[in-house]
A and B are shown apart, each in its own frame.
Chain A
């Protein structure tokens, strides 16, 4: 089934370092979205990148999309302890299709 698969499954970095998370998917998409989930809470939408876009920025977040490789990356620069969370990519095939989530990446930022 169409599903984003994140890589790595878990990432542990020091505060101030950059965190890079990857997402691969299988078929053509309308857009790809990244969400964050703090422990025991709901997901929060971070950023949406459309299939005709290659890069988007939002504050310390940078998302790239390579449709030829069917992959996306989320870069968090100058990480903070508060960035500790799970991060999910979700793919939207468009045309009223369903948003499909990956299993998520657990990011731990050490103070």
Chain B
């Protein structure tokens, strides 16, 4: 089955630690995205990548970093500089740049205490 796999589903970290969220897709999509979702809120774009070895900041990139060394993988690192990291993180992909339509993974819920 083609799709997007995010792991782990739940992640707990202590404040001050960096943490990396995994996102893998086997859809052969060029573009990949990371969104953050807070309770009762829409999705906010963190970073996106339209092609391997290239990525751009979204609306809330501060405190986050990404890499795109392989087409299939787009890991997100939440650094200690992110002031409010507890959230639901969603990874998505699309056939090509342009965001339409998006295929989503099932998310990683990160809790930082």
Residues of A within 8 A of B102 (CB): 35, 43, 45, 99
Q: Is B105 located at the chain interface by the 8 A CB criterion? A: yes
Task: Report the bound CA distance from A25 to B92 in whole Å.
Answer: 23
Task: Report the bound CA distance from A103 to B100 in whole Å.
Answer: 19
Residue-wise, chain B 32-55 has the 8 Å CB interface mask toward A (1 for contact) of 000100001111010010100000
The B-contacting residues of A in range 12-68, CB under 8 angstroms, are 31, 33, 35, 40-45, 48
Query: When A and B form their complex, what is the total count of cross-chain residue pairs whose Cβ atoms lie within 8 Å?
Result: 58
The answer to whether B103 touches A45, judged by C-beta atoms less than 8 angstroms apart, is: yes
Can you give 6 contacting A-B residue pairs, CB < 8 Å?
A41-B106, A42-B4, A43-B90, A45-B101, A96-B50, A101-B42
**Interface on A for B, CB 8 Å cutoff?**
3, 31, 33, 35, 40-45, 48, 88, 92, 94, 96-104
